[in-house]
Amino acid sequence: HGAAELDEIGTEALPRRTPAPAWLPPAKGEEGDFCLRSSDCAAGLCCARHFWSKICKPVLREGQVCTRHRRKGTHGLEIFQRCQCAEGLACRLQREHGPADASRLHTCQRH
């Protein structure tokens, strides 16, 4: 009889976990969180490959190095993907003062 009373007291003392209400949107992933698609990440982040998984990474800002893909489908072969340039920016060959083709670096630039 004494053990049954302890069980009842023990379960009453533990806080009960309730699931989040269906109307509450799930939390978006922050930088470095695992993801499956960009919609899993918070604003200003995209879902990109990092080694053999995918994590939320920051969308690129003006002046940051970006990746131009010559052939369609090559983006999936990278093990360290970068996000796309932010809205209003395009990934273009960096303009430098010097010999032509001195730098093959692409950066996010205003249209």
Tell me if 105 is assigned to some domain: yes
Tell me if 52 is assigned to some domain: yes
Rounded Cα distance between 55 and 58, Å, is: 10
Tell me if 44 is assigned to some domain: yes
Tell me if 95 is assigned to some domain: yes
Tell me if 84 is assigned to some domain: yes
Tell me if 2 is assigned to some domain: no
Structural domain boundaries enclosing 85: 33-70+78-110
**Over the chain, what is the mean pLDDT?**
79
CATH of residue 85's domain is 2.10.80.10
Domain count for the chain, please give it. Answer: 1
Each residue of 7-60: pLDDT tens digit? 444 445 555 566 656 666 678 999 999 999 999 999 999 999 999 999 999 999
Each residue of 66-111: pLDDT tens digit? 988 766 655 556 789 999 999 999 999 987 655 555 568 899 999 8
